[in-house]
Structure formats: structure tokens, C-alpha cells
Structure 1
Amino acid sequence: MDESNTLNEYRPDYAVPPGEVLVAELEMRGMTQHELALRTGLTPKHIVSIAKAKSAITSDTAIKLERALGMPAQYWLNLESNYQEVLSRLAEEEKLERDRTWLKKVPVTEMIKRGWIAKAADAKAQLVEVLRFFGIASVDQWDDMWPNLAVAYRQHVQGEISPEAVSAWLRRGELEASKISCAPFDRSAFRTALAEIRSLTCEAPEVFVPRLASLCAEAGVAVVFVPALPKTGVSGATRWLTPTKALIQLSLRYRTDDHLWFTFFHEAGHILLHGKKECFLEGANGLDEAKEHEANEFAENELISRKEFAAFSARPIFSKAAIVAFARQVGISPGVVVGQLQYKKLLPPSHCNDLKMTFTWTQ
């Protein structure tokens, strides 16, 4: 493409209807619209409609105008095509201008910083870049793709949680998951994988992250780690990308092993216990409390069986040595044990946190 032609391209901010050109041509010829109707066989009403830009010039009409006026049919069709194109572009630009209000709610700066989207020269171009990221044609489709986010966060204080930020985090998870090749979902294989994944709670991230992803992919579940965006308040999410591919998305919100592993098994519980049409957001208000409770119980029992935990938690005090010994006995990370004790209010939130692993994000 010739760059000079592109730079010099004229884009009018108004549209000239073909009917206006037709009226001018008739005046120049001294021909009335009624006469043109007689010459073309079109009704006077239709000629008036074209003149007032209420009807488009079709191929059939263009041929009749060519024969009556001696001006090529293609000329009239080009006028109509250019007119419609300018109308569409002006309408789109007007809509983009309105959508700038929505753009201000999206964490654009943070998304640029993370390399999720490119920085654009102006707001309209930035909006187009954000729409491309979301994979939608306009802001109208955002409500269609993420219809329940506002409902899910309705109980939060205004400004604390941003549905737009949550949707951006979810979308990033979708994009990351699209790169993961998964076998068709197999419930039995996923159940078996969870047993091995439990033993990974004692491993470092460089060991458990790739192994976790591999085991789940073999069972039809894509697992992605996406750092939380500001104003999201989400630890994890579960949804089905296709009928045979599920997604578990983890934000590492609290950066400790007890929260990470509880969240993962909680999301795994949603996959095994609940339907494929819902999107479960760990940390969101307004969701199905019964299903969240079921997923919590699933995670607790998968990490430490009820019987084993009940026997250990019956003691009056919990020393670090006792926690470490119990964790070794049941084959789980000491941090997970601490987290369970704190969750059950059997251990103060400030106690034994040094037994937890703390994670940090790397490129």
C-alpha cells in the first residue's frame, strides 16, 4: 500500500445522499421529479423517497436512471455505496465516542503494563484495542459475554470491585487456556489426577506448576495462573470453555500455599459437582451459596479427610512441631494444615504463618 496515499486519504465527516445529487441533476436539466418517474417507470412516490434519502438506489433503479438520464448506472451505485459507507462510519465513530465512558472503567493502564494490550495514540484507538482484546465488536457485546458480573458483585461497596476489571482477568484466562492442548474431559481421569496433585502441595512452584498443568490437561482441564488485576477481589474461577474442556483460573491473590491449594480444589469441586453453564468466581458475592458451600466442603475433605482432621483438631493446643508432624503423616503441606485450622477458628490468624509457603510472581 502506498503510504502517501494512505496519509492523504480524505475522510469526510458528513454524508451526501445520492438523492441530493439526483435533485441537483434534475434542476440543471429542467426536469421535474414527475417527469423522471414517467421516463423510468418508477412511481412518483419512490422518486420522492430517493430524493429525501429515505430509499436507497438499487441496481435496478440505477439502470433505469442510466437510460433516462444518460449517466452510467455504476455512477449512481458508487454514490449509494459511498453514502452508506460514510453513514456507517459516522455512526460507528459516534458510538465509539459514547463508549469512551465504558473504557474509563477498564484497567487499561494495568493491562498495557502487563502486555495484554498495546498502547494506542488516542482514546478511540485504545477502545478498539480493548475491544480486540475482549474479542467483541462493540461495548454492547460486553454485557452479552459477561452478563452476570454486575450481579455477582452487587453486594460490594461501589468502587471496590470493578466488573470490567474482573472480565478482563477472565478474558486473559481464556486466551491463556486457548494455548493449552487438552484431552476431552474425563471425570475419572480428573479424579485420579487430583489424588496426585494433592501430593504436589509439598513441592516448590517450579515443580508443581508444570506438573499440575500437565495432569489436568490430560483429564480435559486447562489450568492457568493469571495475576489478579486491581479491583477484582477474585482468588479463582471455573468455567467450561467447550463441553469437553474446562478451565480453572487462579490469581494467587493471597500468595500463600494454603489459599492457593484450597482455591484449586474448590474450583475442582465445581467441575465435578456442578453444571457446565455457570461461571464460578471465588470471592464474588451474590453467587449460589449452596454450591459454594459444597465446593468448600469438597476442598476441605480432598486436602485433609474429615476423619483425620477431626482426630487432630481434638487436641487442646497446636504446636508447630505437632502441625508439621501431622502434615507429614497425611502427606500434605504444613501450610495447608495451618490454613484449615485458621479457617475453622481453631488457630488465630496470626499464629504459625511461617509454616506457610509464600509465592511471588515471576515473568
Structure 2
Amino acid sequence: MAKQAINEYQPDYAVSPGEVLSDELEVRGMTQQELAKRTGLTPKHIVSIAQAKSSITPETAIKLERALGMPADYWLNLESQYQEAVARLHEEAKLERDLGWLKRIPVAMMAKLNWIDRPSDAKAQLVEVLRFFGIASVEQWDDMWPNLNVAYRQHNHQEIFPESVSAWLRRGEIEAAQIACETFDKAAFRAALDDIRLLTTEGPDVFVPRMRDLCARAGVAVVFVPALPKTGVSGATRWLNSNKALIQLSLRYRTDDHLWFTFFHEAGHILLHGKKELFLEGANGLDPAKEAEANNFAEQELLPRMRFSAFTRRNQFSKVAISSFAKEIRVAPGIVVGQLQHRGLLPRTHCNDLKQTFRWAHE
């Protein structure tokens, strides 16, 4: 049987129990002073209830029941409904004020990726985005992502919205929560990287599930999350708790050389650096020393330094030579091309057909 839609009317006003009480007294021809005598409450308290400055407590409700013959739960229900209505009106006003923040969230793309629903009402959309972030209001965004505004201050290359970056990071959290990981084991993760390096010659249908499994066994969740507009991020590393690390990849540059370098760079942060930092590739303000250490780690893991140095000294970088060397060291040829281009030994227009190019399913 189809589920019927229920229309819930939410009034844009709140009727206090005090108003109902005042009307009831008027109908009965009873003054507030008389009610005070009958209930044992002070006249000041009765006035305060009538003006909605004081709430009706269970004790007061019982006194009203005895004095007026109207059940205590009637008064308590009125009070509960009034407080809820006041809270909703307050929240509506806050949502109205916070609609400007919503403009900095890539709602269209998030909906396209099925991360959120797309209601037509702007305030309903804001509530949907808040649910996605798992926060009660926009005020909590600053508490949950306190360093993003600092990290992207004075970004020189493109306009970055910290709110958009946080949405990308939040999606990583959500997906990582679905990955069951063993307790982090540094030695096991280090060993897993050797196996993962051999997967660079494979396609995504092979390397993605295999690398996820290897990392999960060592206590690291690996997630692939499409880059959102106004983010400029290629990868991120952080610890979800003391026993579970997260590597998040965006495929921002779409080629295997960038993907694998980013992955091993993030792996370097996990092995070399602390558990309290967020390493966000693409942000300003990152520790240069730690970034250099992670870069060196990735380079050494992908292309053993001595063998790569010997290869570059030949100064012969044809496709055949590159492919032969890549096969010799058991790594994807695109990675060799990327490093040669990065070091200025090969023009960035040369040998790009040796790289694997990736596309997201939604594209």
C-alpha cells in the first residue's frame, strides 16, 4: 500500500497558556487575584503566567486543575505545545538569517552526487545541509571546522570556499564510517604500501578494492570523493580517532601519476607525523618541513632514488625507454612520466599518453 503524505501545518505564531488562562478567567468572571487565593500562588506569579513570562510547571498545573476543574495534562500540553512553537519560530528566524551561508555550499553538485536532497524551499535546503554536516546550526560549523578559514586565507591561485572544502571532508567522514578497519598498525600499514605500489599498473576496478582492503587491515580507511567546486583539494589525511586514520582522494588531476603520488604523500603523513593534524593538500599554511618529508617519502616509495637517478643520467626519455624502465621497477609508466615532467627533464606536453586517465561514474 502506498504511503500517504501527511500535511503538517506549522503556524507562524505561538499561543501561550497564559492567554488561554486569561480567556478562561474572563469567561468565568474571575479575577487574577481570586485565582491566586484559590491556588495559593502569588498574584505576581499569576500575572507572570498570563504574560507568558513564567511557564506552567506540573505543580502549577495540578493547582489549576483543582481551582478551575480543567485537567493538569491539559495545561501541561498547552505549555509543551507553546514551548515547541516558540522554539520553532526562533529556529525559523535563525534559518532566515543563515541563508547567506548556504550560498557558499555547492548544493547543486552535492545533490547531483546524491549526498543530499534538493527541496525547493531555501530554508528546507539549509536544514538538509545541516543534517548532512551533522550540526544543529551554522554556528556549529565554526566549531567543527575551526581551521579551514585560516588554511585558505590569502589563497593565491583560485577562489576557495572553506564551506565547500568542509563538505568534501564531511563526505569523506561519512564514507569512512562505512569501512570496517582493524586497529591501526604502523608496521602493517608500511608493509601494505609495498603491495599497493605493485597495483599502480592496474586499472581502478582492480586497484581500488585491493588498496582499500590492504589499508583497512592496517587501520587506515581510504575513500575516493569527487572534488567539489571551490575546493582545489587533491587529497587529505587525518585521524578519525587514535586507532583509525583516513586518506581521502579527489582525483583532482585525473591522471595516475597525480593519484599515486598523492596517495603515497598522504601515507607519508600517517607514518611520519602526528595524529592531531589535518593535512589538506591544496591549502595554504601547511608546514613546509612536513610537506617536504611527505613528498620525499612518496618519491622514494614510487621511484627508488638510486635507480631513478641512474635512469635520468642516461638522458634518454623516449616512450620505449620510459616504459622499459617502469616495467623494470614494477611501476606504472605514467608515474615515471609525471616525475620526469615535475623535475623539468621532460616537457609537460610529452609522453602523456603513457598516463592512465580516470573519470568519475557521474561524469
Match of 1:150, SS state, is helix
Contact kept in structure 2, 1:236 and 1:282, CA below 8 Å: yes
TM-fit CA distance, 1:11:
2.9
Identify the residue that residue 318 of structure 1 maps to in structure 2.
317
Provide TM-score, normalisation by structure 2. Answer: 0.91
> How many Å separate the matches in 1 of 2:292 and 2:3?
62
Contact kept in structure 2, 1:62 and 1:77, CA below 8 Å: yes
> How many Å separate the matches in 2 of 1:350 and 1:333?
18
Alignment of 1:284-363 (within 5 A): 284-316=283-315, 318-362=317-361
> How many Å separate the matches in 2 of 1:66 and 1:73?
5
CA-to-partner distance for each residue in 1:46-88, whole Å, 9 max, x for gaps?
2222122111010111111222333322222222112111111
Query: Once structures 1 and 2 are overlaid, which stretch shifts more, 185-194 or 71-80?
Result: 71-80
Identify the residue that residue 24 of structure 1 maps to in structure 2.
23
Provide TM-score, normalisation by structure 1. Answer: 0.91
> How many Å separate the matches in 2 of 1:95 and 1:186?
45
Contact kept in structure 2, 1:155 and 1:286, CA below 8 Å: no
Contact kept in structure 2, 1:233 and 1:283, CA below 8 Å: yes
Give percent identity, aligned residues only: 73
Determine whether 1:97 maps to 2:102: no
Equivalent pairs, count: 361
Alignment of 1:2-41 (within 5 A): 6-7=6-7, 9-41=8-40
Identify the residue that residue 53 of structure 2 maps to in structure 1.
54
Contact kept in structure 2, 1:238 and 1:267, CA below 8 Å: yes
> Which residue identity does 2:221 align to in structure 1?
A
Unaligned runs of 5+ in 2: none
Query: Once structures 1 and 2 are overlaid, which stretch shifts more, 97-106 or 341-350?
Result: 341-350
Query: Once structures 1 and 2 are overlaid, which stretch shifts more, 324-333 or 258-267?
Result: 324-333
> How many Å separate the matches in 1 of 2:88 and 2:239?
36
CA-to-partner distance for each residue in 1:226-254, whole Å, 9 max, x for gaps?
22112111111112223222111111111
> How many Å separate the matches in 1 of 2:96 and 2:39?
42
Match of 2:209, SS state, is helix
Identify the residue that residue 42 of structure 1 maps to in structure 2.
41
Identify the residue that residue 122 of structure 1 maps to in structure 2.
121
> How many Å separate the matches in 1 of 2:257 and 2:143?
35
Identify the residue that residue 145 of structure 1 maps to in structure 2.
144
Match of 1:240, SS state, is strand
Match of 2:348, SS state, is coil
> Which residue identity does 2:318 align to in structure 1?
S
Identify the residue that residue 67 of structure 1 maps to in structure 2.
66
TM-fit CA distance, 1:189:
0.7
Match of 2:188, SS state, is helix
Identify the residue that residue 235 of structure 1 maps to in structure 2.
234
TM-fit CA distance, 1:101:
1.6
TM-fit CA distance, 1:30:
4.1
Identify the residue that residue 216 of structure 2 maps to in structure 1.
217
Determine whether 1:160 maps to 2:164: no
Identify the residue that residue 205 of structure 2 maps to in structure 1.
206
CA-to-partner distance for each residue in 1:146-183, whole Å, 9 max, x for gaps?
22222111122697212222122222222222222222
Match of 2:238, SS state, is strand
Determine whether 1:255 maps to 2:241: no
Query: Once structures 1 and 2 are overlaid, which stretch shifts more, 193-202 or 176-185?
Result: 176-185
> How many Å separate the matches in 1 of 2:21 and 2:157?
56
